[in-house]
């Protein structure tokens, strides 16, 4: 609501400023929509709510307000609320912000309260992915800007040398020289011209026809600059940004969990649809004969292959899916069995059963060894009692 209020008041302020300028009724004074009417009351209400919230958070968090998990946001909120209180104090004192140019910037800072919305970005997954991709690409953005500036700097030096020679030899009142002053009047202006050429701010032909007047060679260099920047440099930068964004989303644990949940949901829907197609009789269960008839269809084989379920023999496949071994396959058995096959559940079950069998074998061997030891001691005892020699 506060962000919407700031937008509405900004629109009203600029309209009021334009109207004052057109009617020349403000005598050059800085107009503001918040100086009168219920707009001021609404702004006071918002500032009061933010101030009360800040005080409550300070009392609740105590020292953690400055050193806790969200201390950056706490300091940001404290700064914005402080400037808002200062602004309202100055307005209540009757000071005119138009005459205090040093403090005029303070009137812009309360608008930064809209940045508080960034704290709730994590609630919208798609928006979170976008913001994470932007933040993770900040280093690449810096190097991309540096590369573009270096490239435009080198080409600007070349073009400026041609412009200097042309202007030195040009006659007075040359119209092309006037246009060159606009596009190539200085090194920064030349760099800006090249940047606007590749970003759509300037039409290619406006710059190219000036370079054609100087020399066709400079025109060819300009076209080479456009081709290198648009088709090579910018495309490579875009590819790197996309790759960094994908890597960022893969490394985030919460995003991966949501993606896995979405894939599992989609997989369940596909398996349910396959079972419904196989159950032509609508009984809710499928026997062995009907199952073998269905899985031999080409479209069913393709459907199973698309979800990652592969089998060589339909009869063995049915026996694996039939968990209760009653000869009928229900939708629950079908879906769970297919998920286990796709996720490697069979290999896990085999490994567990091998370990269980190995443990049982070791226990049987220990019991067998203990029984043999006991039997040997009993035989030795009997032989000793009846004086029977032991060979």
Please choose, from the candidates 310, 307, 296, 246, the residue with its C-alpha nearest in 3D space to the C-alpha of residue 272: 307
Higher pLDDT among residues 139 and 118, named by residue: 139
**Alpha-carbon gap, residue 79 to 230, rounded angstroms:** 42
Tens digits of per-residue pLDDT, 30-63?
Answer: 445 555 566 677 777 877 777 787 788 778 777 7
Higher pLDDT among residues 14 and 109, named by residue: 14
The pLDDT value given to residue 199: 85
The pLDDT value given to residue 169: 82
Tens digits of per-residue pLDDT, 257-274?
Answer: 777 777 778 888 888 888
**Alpha-carbon gap, residue 307 to 303, rounded angstroms:** 7
Residue 144 makes CB contacts below 8 A (sequence gap 6+) with 237, 240
- Provide mean pLDDT across the span 319-343: 78
Higher pLDDT among residues 387 and 190, named by residue: 190
Tens digits of per-residue pLDDT, 243-258?
Answer: 877 777 677 676 677 7
Residue 337 CA to its chain's centroid (Å): 34
- Range with the poorest average pLDDT among 53-67, 122-136, 354-368: 122-136
Give the Cβ contact number of residue 97 at 10 Å: 18
**Alpha-carbon gap, residue 316 to 314, rounded angstroms:** 6
| Confidence label for 100 from pLDDT (cuts 50, 70 and 90) | very low
pLDDT cut 90: percent of the chain above it: 4
Please choose, from the candidates 81, 74, 69, the residue with its C-alpha nearest in 3D space to the C-alpha of residue 59: 74
Tens digits of per-residue pLDDT, 213-233?
Answer: 888 898 999 999 999 888 888
Per-residue pLDDT at 277 exceeds 80? yes
- Range with the poorest average pLDDT among 123-132, 182-191, 214-223: 123-132
The pLDDT value given to residue 35: 54
The pLDDT value given to residue 91: 64
The pLDDT value given to residue 220: 92
The pLDDT value given to residue 102: 46
DSSP 260-328: HHHHHHHHHHHHHHHHHHH-TT-SSEEEHHHHHHHHTSHHHHHHHHHTT---S-HHHHHHHH-TT-SSE
Higher pLDDT among residues 119 and 130, named by residue: 130
Rg (C-alpha) for the chain, rounded Å, is: 39
| Confidence label for 153 from pLDDT (cuts 50, 70 and 90) | very high
Q: Model-level pTM greater than 0.85?
A: no
Q: What's the mean per-residue pLDDT of the chain? A: 75
């Amino acid at each position: 609501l506060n962000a919407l209020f700031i937008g509405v008041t900004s629109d009203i302020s600029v309209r009021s400023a334009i109207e004052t300028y057109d009617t020349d009724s403000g005598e050059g004074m800085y107009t503001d929509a918040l100086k009168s009417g219920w707009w001021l009351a609404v702004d006071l209400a918002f500032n009061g709510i933010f101030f009360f919230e800040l005080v409550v958070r300070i009392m609740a968090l105590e020292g953690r307000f400055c050193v806790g998990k969200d201390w950056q946001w706490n300091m940001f909120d404290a700064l914005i609320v402080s400037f808002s209180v200062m602004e309202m104090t100055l307005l209540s004192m009757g000071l005119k912000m138009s005459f205090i140019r040093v403090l005029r910037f303070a009137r812009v800072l309360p608008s930064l309260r809209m940045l508080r919305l960034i704290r709730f970005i994590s609630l919208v997954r798609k928006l979170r992915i976008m913001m994470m991709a932007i933040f993770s690409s900040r280093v690449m953005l810096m190097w991309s800007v540096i590369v573009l500036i270096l490239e435009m700097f080198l080409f600007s030096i070349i073009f400026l040398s041609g412009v200097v020679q042309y202007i030195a030899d040009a006659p007075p009142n040359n119209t092309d020289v006037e246009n060159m002053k606009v596009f190539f009047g200085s090194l920064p202006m030349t760099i800006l011209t090249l940047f606007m050429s590749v970003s759509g701010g300037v039409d290619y032909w406006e710059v190219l026809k000036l370079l054609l007047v100087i020399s066709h060679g400079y025109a060819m260099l300009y076209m080479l600059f456009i081709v290198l920047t648009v088709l090579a440099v910018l495309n490579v930068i875009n590819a790197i940004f996309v790759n960094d964004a994908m890597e960022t989303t893969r490394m985030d644990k919460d995003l991966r969990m949501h993606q896995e949940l979405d894939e599992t949901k989609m997989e369940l829907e596909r398996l349910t649809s396959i079972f419904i197609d196989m159950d032509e009789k609508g009984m809710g269960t499928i026997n062995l004969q009907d199952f073998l008839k269905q899985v031999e269809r080409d479209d069913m084989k393709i459907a199973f292959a698309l979800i990652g379920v592969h089998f060589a023999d339909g009869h063995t496949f049915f026996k694996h899916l039939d968990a209760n071994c009653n000869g009928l396959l229900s939708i629950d058995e079908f879906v769970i069995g297919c998920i286990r096959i796709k996720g490697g559940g069979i290999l896990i079950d085999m490994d567990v059963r091998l370990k269980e069998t190995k443990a049982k074998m070791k226990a049987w061997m220990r019991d067998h060894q203990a029984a043999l030891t006991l039997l040997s001691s009993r035989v030795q005892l009997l032989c000793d009692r009846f004086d029977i020699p032991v060979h």
